[in-house]
Structure 1
Amino acid sequence: MTRRGILTGGSAALALGGVGIVVEARRAAARYERFARDLRVPLTAPATDRGLVRYATLAANGHNTQPWLFQTSGRGIVIRPDFSRRTPVVDPDDHHLYVSLGCAVENLAIAAIATGRPGAVTVTRDGNDTGASLTFLSDGMFADADTWKMFTAIPRRQSTRSAYDGRPVPPADLERLRKSATVDGVQVAMVTERGAIGRMRDLVIAGNDAQMADRAFVAELKQWIRFSPSAAIKRGDGLYAPASGNPALPEWLGPYAFDLAFKPRSEADKYVRQIDSSAGIAVFSAAPENPTGWIAAGRACQRFCLTATALGIRTAFVNQPVEVTSLRADVASVAGLEGRRPDLVLRFGYAPALPYSPRRPVEAVIMRDA
């Protein structure tokens, strides 16, 4: 579930088009800001099924592909994988796809209990497909204080792909983060020692170098980038350039700028800045190593990210070394997870917010009633 920086120096390219292009770019950015804000209107009780699905779709997910479909009924809500949104190069075993489902079902469960419709989460199977479901309960459960904080963080959570300010996270907050990610079968390693962070940084760069040498990977990544606000609004998915701290560009210009700017050296320099300025790195590892475990990893990660957001801490995925198979054992060793497959690598720290990522409308992800 990685985000790749792009388009350094793009502001100069915009200026080449004259004042008119710059003015229109500002207007488009304002339209996008309204679009993103409307997606994240706070959910109030009593929540409808559509409202719960909207909050579920605000979850973290790989390349912002939003690889999910929802079925609603009076009994509950089922989340199924949408394999038409696979990323087969970076995620050949659909690991990130199932992690994304786990993130979404955790948002769903938190939003449901916070708005008076508590439910029980279970992993579901339909033939060869694995999904998750929330079955509504009628036992009068209420959200505790920690769950309420996670609920209010759902519309504010983002992957903040920028340099952080280097401040350490207080020990008490590190413990809150660790406890928040408690999900059966999932281990979370918190890497805060600077030497270990440096070794993880080197693995991220090694993974990034390997991926950038793969033409199929670069082509797949490029397919999911939304260079302009208009494209991000129209498509409602993908990696919106300003959400990575990069300038928006016209769609006709973006691919050319990408080809010029997306180079191993500049990417490596960027990850040095970003990881060296982070307070720490969290590594998630789930058992079993199959869709059931990967959904659990997503649930734990989403809880971690929401708790971080509530504490004013930013997070961003740096999953390159778990996406490159040959580097996974090294990641596990640095994190103290020897013998396990590391699922996710997440850096955290303090920084201002960036623009939010787009989402598709609820109508696009709801199937007929179950």
Structure 2
Amino acid sequence: MNRRRVVIGAASLAALGGAGALGWRASTGSMADYARYGAALRRPLGIDPSLRDLIAHATLAPSGHNTQPWRFAIREHAIDILPDPTRATPVVDPDDHHLFVSLGCIAETLGIAAAATGRPGEIAVASDGTIRFAFTTGAARPDPLFAAIPLRQSTRAPFDGRAVSAADLAQIEAAAAIPGVSLALITERPQIDRIRDLVIEGNGMQMADPAFLAELKRWLRFGPKQAMATGDGLLSAASGNPVLPDALGGIAFDLFVTAASESARYLRQIDTSAGLAVFVGARADRAHWVAVGRACQRFALAATGLGLRTSFVNQPVEVAALRRRLAALVGAPDARPDLVMRFGTGPILPFSPRRPVGSVLV
């Protein structure tokens, strides 16, 4: 569930940008249009929605590089959630770990939304990681996590450094309780700094890999026009960066995105966070990866409901050589850590795009 942004100085933009204002707007698209697009995606879901509307709401769940690697098959009294291998990221995620975590995120979102709108049900995970949500019809079940679904976002910006109260931490931790998943909440600064150092080390290793950079670049969307056309990927403005025409954005990425600039950004992000959440599945298999996704989505929704922001800093789990050191830091030396999420109080940024529901239905 990794996220990146392009850091480009104003002088560099001036040197690269020769187009007039109208031509620039035509090539990048309008952020005002994008705001209307995002608001339409995140309309509140009414009682007794159609299954298509329910699935569309569930797709607001997070996924690695916002690839949305899922497909849905509507059955009688059930919805199957299937992996979409065409949207895998084999460099950063060679064993499809993040893919199945993403399926867990969307399965939990679907279950929460369905129960809150009159279709309570159960989530079952097959050994191959495919998921079935079997539902009935019944009374709507109010759930504070439901209201947070359209508001949650991965906020890839510095936070304000304020601590989170013990009562709020306890509430978020309780919301994230899923069998087979343990959660380590790290709020002491020396421990945060040790994990931060692993993030920076992992970032340097990833940024030195041309294949990693090429895969990341494939999923970057430099302007709102491109993001709305594809409905996926990492929009530059969603990380607080300026929008660029597609071709210029690619050039800027190649010229200015460096290990040093990315490391400086992660230092600011983690140093201003209230804490880190590290999720660890009981076993390293697809069923537990799905369970981790369910737990982390519940964590993020509960945090959102309290006015907090979250984002992923997953380098220590993506770089295999660093996993054992992370596991030791969180007191699980024999386990494989699955996710690292930072949390705190921070700004609201433009939301990421989503594909239309018709494109994810089998």
Which TM-score bucket, shorter chain as reference? over 0.9
Asked if 1:337 corresponds to 2:332, the answer is yes
Partner residue, 2:271: 276
Partner residue, 2:65: 63
Q: Distance in 1 between matches of 2:359 and 2:25?
A: 32
Could you tell me whether the CA contact under 8 Å between 1:120 and 1:137 is conserved in 2? no
Q: Distance in 2 between matches of 1:204 and 1:68?
A: 28
Give runs of aligned pairs for residues 202-213 of structure 1, distance below 5 A: 202-213=197-208
Partner residue, 2:98: 96
Could you tell me whether the CA contact under 8 Å between 1:39 and 1:359 is conserved in 2? yes
Corresponding letter in the other structure for 1:364: S
Report deviation, 1:149.
Answer: 1.4
TM-score normalized by the length of structure 1: 0.94
Give runs of aligned pairs for residues 247-266 of structure 1, distance below 5 A: 247-266=242-261
Partner residue, 2:111: 109
**Equivalent position to 1:171, from 149, 160, 166:** 166
Q: Distance in 1 between matches of 2:180 and 2:29?
A: 48
Could you tell me whether the CA contact under 8 Å between 2:316 and 2:323 is conserved in 1? yes
Corresponding letter in the other structure for 1:259: D
TM-score normalized by the length of structure 2: 0.96
129-138 vs 74-83, which deviates more? 129-138
Report deviation, 1:15.
Answer: 5.7
Partner residue, 1:39: 41
Could you tell me whether the CA contact under 8 Å between 2:313 and 2:341 is conserved in 1? yes
Could you tell me whether the CA contact under 8 Å between 1:14 and 1:249 is conserved in 2? no
Q: Distance in 2 between matches of 1:85 and 1:65?
A: 6
SS of the aligned residue for 1:165 comes to coil
Runs of 4+ in 1 over 3 A off after TM superposition: 10-16, 21-27
Asked if 1:135 corresponds to 2:130, the answer is no
SS of the aligned residue for 1:253 comes to helix
Could you tell me whether the CA contact under 8 Å between 1:189 and 1:337 is conserved in 2? no
28-37 vs 209-218, which deviates more? 28-37
Report deviation, 1:85.
Answer: 0.6
Q: How many residues align?
A: 360
Aligned identity (percent) is 52
Give runs of aligned pairs for residues 228-267 of structure 1, distance below 5 A: 228-267=223-262
Partner residue, 2:146: 151
Partner residue, 1:8: 8
**Equivalent position to 2:190, from 174, 195, 199:** 195
Give runs of aligned pairs for residues 293-332 of structure 1, distance below 5 A: 293-332=288-327
Could you tell me whether the CA contact under 8 Å between 1:70 and 1:365 is conserved in 2? yes
Give runs of aligned pairs for residues 204-223 of structure 1, distance below 5 A: 204-223=199-218
Spell out, residue by residue over 1:6-54, the C-alpha distance to the aligned partner (whole angstroms, 9 max, x if none). Answer: 1322654676433334655786111111111111111001121111101
Q: Flag the 1:9–1:331 CA change in 2: closer, same or farther, 3 A.
A: same
SS of the aligned residue for 1:187 comes to strand
Corresponding letter in the other structure for 1:263: T
Q: Distance in 1 between matches of 2:321 and 2:261?
A: 23
Corresponding letter in the other structure for 1:132: I
Q: Distance in 2 between matches of 1:23 and 1:234?
A: 15
Q: Distance in 2 between matches of 1:106 and 1:231?
A: 29
Spell out, residue by residue over 1:289-346, the C-alpha distance to the aligned partner (whole angstroms, 9 max, x if none). Answer: 1100000000000000000100000000000110000101111122222211110000
* TM-align CA RMSD: 1.5
Spell out, residue by residue over 1:129-187, the C-alpha distance to the aligned partner (whole angstroms, 9 max, x if none). Answer: 4211110135x46525xxx2110110110000000000000110000111111000000
Spell out, residue by residue over 1:204-262, the C-alpha distance to the aligned partner (whole angstroms, 9 max, x if none). Answer: 00000000011100000001101111110000001111111111100010011001121
Could you tell me whether the CA contact under 8 Å between 1:282 and 1:346 is conserved in 2? yes
SS of the aligned residue for 2:353 comes to coil
Q: Flag the 1:13–1:298 CA change in 2: closer, same or farther, 3 A.
A: farther
Q: Distance in 1 between matches of 2:25 and 2:102?
A: 37
Could you tell me whether the CA contact under 8 Å between 1:164 and 1:277 is conserved in 2? yes
Spell out, residue by residue over 1:59-113, the C-alpha distance to the aligned partner (whole angstroms, 9 max, x if none). Answer: 0110000000001123111100000111000000000000000000000000000
Could you tell me whether the CA contact under 8 Å between 1:40 and 1:155 is conserved in 2? yes
Q: Flag the 1:317–1:13 CA change in 2: closer, same or farther, 3 A.
A: farther
Asked if 1:357 corresponds to 2:352, the answer is yes
Spell out, residue by residue over 1:267-310, the C-alpha distance to the aligned partner (whole angstroms, 9 max, x if none). Answer: 11111111000000000011221100000000000000000100
Could you tell me whether the CA contact under 8 Å between 2:29 and 2:223 is conserved in 1? no
90-99 vs 259-268, which deviates more? 259-268
Partner residue, 2:87: 85
5+ residue gaps, structure 2: none
